Amino acid sequence: MDFDLTPEQEQIRKLAKDFADREIAPGARERDREQRFPAEILAKMAPLGFLGGPVPEQYGGMGIDYISHALITEEVGRADSSVRTTLSVQISLVELTILKFGTPKQKQAWLPRLCRGEVIGCFGLTEPASGTDAAALQTTAIKDGDDWIINGRKMWISNGGVSQLALIFARTDAKAPKTKGITAFLLSREHQPYGSPPIHGKLGLRSSDTSELVFEDVRVPDSMRLGELGQGFAIAMAALDSGRYSVAAGAVGVAQACLDASVSYATQRQTFGKPIAAHQLVQEMLADMTVETEAARLLVWRAGAVKNKGLPSTRETSIAKLYAAEAAQRCADMAIQIHGGYGFSDEFPVERYWRDARVNRLYEGTTQIQKLIIGRAITGIDAVAG
Amino acid sequence: MKLLVPLKQVPDSTMRIKVAPDGKSIVTEGITWSISPYDEYAVEMALEQKDADPSTTVSVVTVGPVRAKDALRAALAMGCDDGTFVTSDENAAPLVVARALAKFVEQKQPDLVLCGRQASDDDQGFVGPALATILGWPHVATVTKFAPADGGIEIWREVEGGHEVWKASGPALVTVQKSDKEPRYASLPGIMKAKKKELPELALSSLGVDAAAPKIEVVKMETPPQRGGGKILKAADGDAASVAAELVRLLRDEAKVL
């Protein structure tokens, strides 16, 4: 067993770290305050290859391994979870899903443009009345000649408002068992216009774009169907599996950011004539944060190693996502505690880390769902389906 | 046009440097190493010429211990064409480094050698001019721009309040000053391409350079003295006018900055 990164992985980490420190972190507070989407940062990331990640070079990606993918995601997440969310959706939910389930034509049509950042993608599964119970979705696609007519509404869609491509799920067979009657479609906004009313007032990720998606008699040619008829639910689950890995890596970045900010503050801030890091109860928190962060990172890398071998990684990814999401929240909480009153204001970044960390325990499967996935893997009993 | 950039690997500028227990070296454990910042500007200047004229080749070379190989890989990832690694001890004498580079320049025959104006670790600014002297080449210092011109190379050099334009009719060496154009990031395609490139290694001893050099030894290293605490004038010290007057007095008489 070897925990060393390869020279290329070290280089990729350094590049991502430099970029995150110089280009992403400095404006994060203002973007959060103004709830402004970081378009200018994406424009700088694209030529460096950050939006292509593990997509093979023949489709315009970088063909990097999954550990490298996690390193980039962690560094971006360390600087700004809103930017990281955009990246997670673009690469893990949209690109990697098209790569896995798309026809050669679909892959050629979309992947290079997605990897170059010319097209921003979004992923529409969740609806106003269905989140965790994704198979209960109510959006419908009705066959009309060679086309499908789509009607319905999606909720909490990251990148929705800025997207030119939506990967969405609709019920194509009302009579089939609920997980079998769902089909995936690609909607090109130019040709299959959909609405995207913005959602404001979020607790965190305030500079990431979140919207609803609205489909009113949207006509989609059958050539835009992704995967087989009725395969939609399986595609959605595979996409979430891929997205979870990215969320987990991003959460490690948040935990690391909390630790860095706390060490810096605790070694400078003085109380009772010495730096607060000299107080044992503060040092305990710093030690706990270090353990949390490193444990989370190693779980992500382990899942990455399984992915690199091309083996099923659902269990490992769920373990990593569950632990990293909860660890990031605990670290953010301790970071505020160490910063005291200053941690409660946006003069320091830790309050943003705390707000941004919260959603990691919700999206791409709640912490509770991760536990049921892990439970199913060890018992063979599926407590979700009942 | 053939360009050559000699690089030095130094502790990254974000590192907090600590003096080692021996009192004359730094703690290297846990240090991140990078290309020296002025050398990075030199790489950027060379790559801009390559952007303008794709027939340009940009080579990099370093003389250093095993870890210095990473500096070459980093330069390749930024877009340089090839790199050569001359392996040496940790602290090769600057004059020996310059002699080794001279041998390499003679083999490589570049049209222009671009060095950083000084390395950020020892700030000696020695190797560039020494290399030009050994080669018998003209040397222009603190350069911010160059361009191929009729029968030679035009070189812009920063001087107090403006710049001078020089012209070299044959091969030349410049030392590069910080300029407005920030060194580019490496890119993922650059890193993946660099991964596939061979990095030929030459032992310093195999270049047949004279190893005798004036012996320079660091006798002692000290960190700068701790800064004293600031002084805060409070409203209780008087009204605004008298506090301002006191501030001016302190700045003039104590801090001596006015």
Cβ atoms of residues A107 and A230 within 8 Å? no
Residues B125 and B232 in one domain: no
Contacts of B195 in chain A (CB under 8 A): 7-8
- In-domain check, residue A323: yes
Residue B74 sits at the chain A interface (C-beta within 8 Å): yes
Where residue B110 sits, what CATH number does that domain have? 3.40.50.620
Query: CA-to-CA distance for A282 and A275, rounded, in angstroms?
Result: 10
In a domain, A365, yes or no: yes
ipTM of predicted complex? 0.82
Residues of A with CB under 8 A from a CB of B: 7-8, 10-12, 14-15, 18-19, 47-50, 52, 57, 62-64
**Inter-chain contact A19–B74, Cβ cutoff 8 Å?**
no
A356 belongs to a structural domain: yes
Count Cβ–Cβ pairs < 8 Å, chain A vs chain B. 43
Nearest to A320 by CA among A294, A292, A293, A298: A298
Q: How far, in whole angstroms, is CA A148 from its chain's centroid?
A: 29
Angle made by CA atoms A355, A29, A37, in degrees to the nearest 5: 85
B187: in domain:
yes
CA distance B87 to chain A (A): 18
Q: Are residues A189 and A277 in the same domain?
A: no
- Report if residue B123 sits inside a domain: yes
DSSP string spanning A301-360?
Answer: HHHHHHHHTT---HHHHHHHHHHHHHHHHHHHHHHHHHHGGGGGSTTSTHHHHHHHHHGG
SS3 B18: coil
Please state the rounded mean pLDDT for residues A156-165: 98
Q: Inform me whether the pLDDT recorded for A276 exceeds 70.
A: yes
Do residues A142 and A160 both lie within one domain? yes
Average pLDDT over residues A260-273: 96
Same domain, B130 and B233: no
Same domain, A176 and A249: no
- Residue type at B7 in one-letter notation: L
Q: Is A279 a member of any domain?
A: yes
Contacts of A7 in chain B (CB under 8 A): 70, 73, 195
Same domain, B162 and B248: no
Residue A176 and residue A101 in one domain: no
For the CA atoms of A100, A106, A109, A110, the dihedral, rounded to the nearest 10 degrees, stands at: -40
Let me know: does B127 contact B94? Beta carbons within 8 Å: yes
**Does residue A350 carry a pLDDT above 90?**
yes
Nearest CA in chain B to A53: B188
Contact B145, B180 (CB under 8 A): no
Report yes or no: A58 and A51 within 8 Å, Cβ to Cβ: no
> Which pLDDT belongs to residue A346?
95
**How confident is the model over A288-298, as pLDDT tens digits?**
999 999 999 99
Report how far Cα B237 is from the mean position of its chain's Cα atoms: 49
Same domain, A373 and A242: yes
Q: Do A109 and A195 fall into the same domain?
A: no
User: Quick one: pLDDT band at residue A69, thresholds 50, 70, 90?
Assistant: very high
CA atoms within 13 Å, Cβ hemisphere of A346: 12
* Contacts A69 to B, Cβ<8 Å: none
**Residue A384 covered by a domain:** no
Structural domain for A206, as ranges: 122-230
> Do residues B71 and B87 make contact, with C-beta atoms less than 8 angstroms apart?
no
A196-242 pLDDT per residue, tens: 999 999 999 999 999 999 999 999 999 999 999 999 999 999 999 99
Indicate whether B127 and B234 sit together in one domain: no
Predicted TM-score (pTM) of the model is: 0.89
Note the pLDDT of residue B256: 86
Cβ neighbours of residue B224 under 8 Å, at least 6 residues apart?
A: none
Residue of A nearest to B187 (CA): A48
| Residue B110 placed within a domain | yes
> In this model, does residue A110 exceed pLDDT 70?
yes
Q: Which of A73, A98, A120 is the last residue of a domain?
A: A120
To probe the interface with A, which of B69, B188, B195, B199 has the most A CB atoms within 10 Å? B188
Answer whether residue A386 shows pLDDT above 70.
Answer: no
Q: Does B72 touch chain A (CB under 8 A)?
A: no
Considering the domain architecture, whether residues B8 and B62 belong to the same structural domain is answered as: yes
What does DSSP say about strands B162-168 and B152-159: parallel, antiparallel, or unpaired? Answer: antiparallel
- Rounded to the nearest 10 degrees, what angle do helices A314-339 and A367-379 cross at? 140
Chain A interface includes B208 (CB < 8 A)? no
Is residue B167 a part of any domain in this protein?
Answer: yes
Domain ends where: A103, A120, A137?
A: A120
**CATH number of the CATH domain containing A300:** 1.20.140.10
Which range marks the domain in which residue B95 is found? 2-207
Q: Would the CB atoms of A7 and B188 count as touching at under 8 Å?
A: no
Same domain, B195 and B239: no
CB crowding B47-76: b at 16 or more within 10 Å, else e: bbbbeeeeebbbbbbbbbeeebbbbbbbbb
CATH number of residue A192's parent domain: 2.40.110.10
Beta bridge partners, B173, equal B113, B139
Q: Which residues of A are tagged catalytic?
A: 364
Q: What is the pLDDT of residues A362-371, one digit of tens each?
A: 999 999 999 9
CATH number, domain at A16? 1.10.540.10
Residue B129 near residue B175, CB atoms below 8 Å: yes
For residue A6, the chain B residue with the least C-alpha distance is B195
C-alpha closest to that of A246 among A194, A320, A150: A320
Q: Which residues on adjacent β-strands are paired with residue B33?
A: B11
Instruction: Supply φ then ψ for residue A310, to 5 degrees.
Output: 75, 20
Regarding whether A215 and A134 lie in a shared domain, the answer is yes
Residue B188: closest C-alpha in chain A: A49
Single out the residue of B80, B188, B72 nearest to residue A75, CA to CA.
Answer: B188
Whole-number pLDDT of residue A366: 95
Provide the residue-wise pLDDT of chain B in tens; the chain has 258 residues. 999 999 999 999 888 899 999 999 999 999 999 999 999 999 999 999 999 999 999 999 999 999 999 999 999 999 999 999 999 987 888 999 999 999 999 999 999 999 999 999 989 999 999 999 999 999 999 999 999 998 899 999 989 889 999 999 989 999 999 988 899 999 999 999 998 999 999 998 898 888 888 877 889 999 888 877 788 888 777 888 888 988 999 999 888 888
- The answer to whether residues A148 and A70 belong to one domain is no
Cα distance between residue B129 and residue A368, in whole Å:
66
Per-residue pLDDT at B142: 95
Q: Do both B6 and B119 map to the same domain? A: yes
Is there a domain that residue A385 lies in? Answer: no
Q: How many domains does chain A have?
A: 3
In a domain, B93, yes or no: yes
Whether B61 and B131 share a structural domain? yes
Q: State how far the alpha carbon of A308 is from the alpha carbons of A54, A314, A334, in Å.
A: 10, 13, 34
Count how many domains chain B has.
2
What 8-state DSSP symbol labels residue A111?
H
- Could A48 and B74 be called an inter-chain contact, meaning their C-beta atoms sit closer than 8 Å? no
**Looking at the structure, do residues B112 and B238 belong to the same domain, yes or no?**
no
Helix (H, G, I), strand (E, B), or coil: what is residue B130? Answer: helix
Residues A247 and A322 in one domain: yes
**Which of A230, A246, A269 lies at the terminal end of a domain, its last residue?**
A230
pLDDT at A349: 98
Which amino acid, one-letter code, is at B146?
F
Q: Tell me, yes or no, whether A256 and A356 share the same domain.
A: yes
Beta carbons of A252 and A300 less than 8 angstroms apart: yes
In a shared domain, residues B105 and B53: yes
One domain, residues A75 and A96: yes
Phi, psi dihedrals of residue B216, rounded to the nearest 5°: -115, 130
CA-nearest of A268, A153, A173, A62 to B229 is A268
pLDDT for A66 equals 97
- My answer on whether A282 and A344 are in the same domain is yes
Residue pair B60/B72 in contact (Cβ under 8 Å)? The answer is yes
Q: B194: which 2 tokens?
A: 């660099």
Q: Do B33 and B129 fall within a single domain?
A: yes
For residue A280, pLDDT beyond 80: yes
Same domain, B22 and B113: yes
State the pLDDT confidence band at A2, using cuts at 50, 70 and 90: confident
* Res. A385: pLDDT tops 80: no
CB A243 within 8 A of CB A89: yes
How distant is the Cα of A67 from the closest Cα of chain B, in angstroms?
A: 14
Residue B189 has its nearest CB partner, among A7, A14, A49, at A49
